[in-house]
Amino acid sequence: MTHVIVGYPSLQATEDLVLLMDKIGVDFIELQIPFSDPLADGPAIMKACEESLRNGTKVKDAFDLAKKLSGKIKTPLLFMAYFNTVFNYGIEKFCTYSKKAGIVGLIVPDFPIEEELSDHFNEILEKHGLLNIKVLSPASTEERIKLNAKVGTGFIYCTARQGITGTDKGFDQNVIAYLKTVKKHFDIPIALGFGVSKREHIKQMEGFADIAVVGSAFLDIIKTFSDFGDENFTSSSKNFAFSAKAENVNSSSRYLKEVEKYLLQLKS
């Protein structure tokens, strides 16, 4: 699964990136609606959100873009948004518009399950036929994991560690133990993200997680080649997304070139 920020580096660039990812054949595409205070995100995503907001990106732009893309691609589209955005827009209205735009599910990492009685968020998602993709961290207690297992649908999004996304350290054995605990309580696929950027990470996931989520590392390529029309940007983005699909994810240019050669051999 790949991750893009709506409106970064521009709405047109976001559209082109999603079309490219669909052509390559990623399993899901996560469209993050930019927010001014994305607490769970690291520097790359925070800066991308800031730039998108400076460009004037609105929630309506995300709906319009999703509707346009859903008519062109086969890859399922997900919205990632912070609950403040959903709540201010109106939960019922947000879910109604998401469904009409072709979105298949929502990832709202900061919605506390305890608020369900007052906000009825999970109930409204179910009413509109949207996947309710819950987010867990290594700090989640087994009791909290059980509560989320009762309402989560589609897949469960597990962070590789507690804290912000997009840092460079690898996984430790505590992460493996945590994934085993999650697996005991869910009968849907497990996605693992927050720092997944290397082939070693994917190898460590085998047998414990089903979906690799690539976000911050992909945004680093966009930052490096900020002119979307530049041939190098398109080539590098394509190579990185191909490497993610091939389960050979690494942000170094040398490794990307090696992946490119490998994929060209497979296609020939």
Encoded tokens for 55: 């460009």
Residue 129 CB coordination number (10 Å): 11
Q: Is 120 helix (H, G, I), strand (E, B) or coil?
A: coil
Encoded tokens for 94: 């947000």
Q: What is the residue-wise DSSP string for 185-249?
A: H--S-EEEESS--SHHHHHHHTTT-SEE-B-HHHHHHHHHT--TTSHHHHHHHHHHHHHHHTT--
Q: Is 131 helix (H, G, I), strand (E, B) or coil?
A: strand
Q: What is the residue-wise DSSP string for 147-180?
A: HHHHH--S-EEEESSSS-S-------HHHHHHHH
Count CA within 13 A, CB hemisphere, residue 136.
29
Contact partners, residue 209, CB within 8 Å, separation at least 6:
158, 179, 190, 191, 192
Query: Whose CA is closest to 78, among 135, 146, 150, 138?
Result: 135
Report the catalytic residues: 30, 41
Alpha-carbon Rg for the chain in angstroms: 18
Cα 237 from Cα 258, distance rounded (Å)? 14
Strands 103-107 and 211-212: unpaired
